Amino acid sequence: MEKRNKIIYWIATLWLSLGMTATGIVQLMQLEEETKSMERLGYPAYVLTLLGVWKILGVIAVLIPKFTLVKEWAYAGFFFAMSGAIVSHLAVQDPAGELFGPALLLVLTVVSWYFRPVNRKISLNS
């Protein structure tokens, strides 16, 4: 059971990290398509920079050993960013296809968080 959980954790975490890194880089590049998408959702273009930086920092926090409190904040940030993206797309009545990316990253966030090893969890005894 422990080995299975470790495999699930690492698959989810690596895919989550890849997805967050890729979207973070695209947001930092502020490609025209991304800028127009943010405008359509009602956000200013500078939000792309914030999201891009936060995603990259979050990936670093999730992947490096120790710093369990920082990991918890990173997972929370990923959860809020992706659930916020889903709600934003729903609010402007985007097609269902626009929900796939954020929904997948949201699921990967929850799976990675849930299956994280004990040494990557906050100890309530300390």
- Give mean pLDDT, residues 104-121: 92
Q: Rounded to whole angstroms, how far apart are CA atoms 70 and 94?
A: 33
Separation between Cα atoms, residue 87 and residue 13, nearest integer Å: 23
Burial class (CB in 10 A: 0-12, 13-18, 19+), 84: middle
Residues written for the chain: 126
**Tens of pLDDT along 28-78?**
999 999 999 999 999 999 999 999 999 999 999 999 988 899 999 999 999
